[in-house]
Amino acid sequence: MPEKTLGSLRCLRWLKNIKTQMKKLTFIFLLFIGFGINNAKAQHDPSDQILSANWDVIGDVEFKMAKDDSEMYAIFSNDIKKRAGKPFELEGYIVPIKDGMKQTKFMLSTLPINQCFYCGKNGVPIMVEVQLKEPTKFTYQTIKVKGILKLSTANALDASPISLLNGTVVK
C-alpha cells in the first residue's frame, strides 16, 4: 500500500477516535443537564449547590432522541431563546475537561466536582460549557463567569447545546 494511503488511513482512524471520544463526552454532559437540579436533592450537601434564576433557565432545556437513538437534540424554552447571543452570567464550580491548573475551556456545574456523578460521587448536576478569553486558575471554590450565551441546534451527541463564549471571570 502506498505511504500516502497509509497516512490517510491513520488520519481517518485518528479522526474517528476523536469523534467517538467527543460523543462520549457530550453524552455525559447531556446526562448532567438532563437530570437537572431537582433530581440531585437529597444526595448532596444543600449548602454546596448553586441555585439561581439563570441556572433555572438552563435547567428548563429538554432533549429529544432520534428514533434510532443515533442523534439527540436540545429543545430550548422561549425564555432561554430570548437570552441567546446576549451576555449571560453564571456562578458555579469548574469541572475541567483537560488536565492543568489553568483552564480556558471547562464545564461549569451547580455542584462541586467531588459531588459530581461522573467525576466524584452522588447525583447529576446541570452543566454548561465555558470558553474564557483568558485562562483562570482551577479552584474548588465557586467562580462567577460572564459570557455570550450560545445555543446549538446541532446533534447534542456531537456538540455542547449550551455554551458561554468569550467569557470573563467576574470578581
Alpha-carbon span 118 to 149, nearest angstrom? 25
What are the residue ranges spanned by the domains of the chain?
A: 3-170
Q: 3-170 adopts what CATH topology? A: OB fold (Dihydrolipoamide Acetyltransferase, E2P) (2.40.50)
The three cell numbers of residue 86 are 446576549
Alpha-carbon span 90 to 53, nearest angstrom? 9
| Model pLDDT for residues 74-91, shown as the tens digit of each residue | 899 999 999 999 999 999
Residue 127 neighbours by CB under 8 Å, 6+ apart: 29, 32, 33, 95, 107, 108, 109, 110
| Model pLDDT for residues 7-31, shown as the tens digit of each residue | 445 555 555 555 566 655 565 555 5
Residue 85 DSSP one-character state: T
pTM over 0.75: no
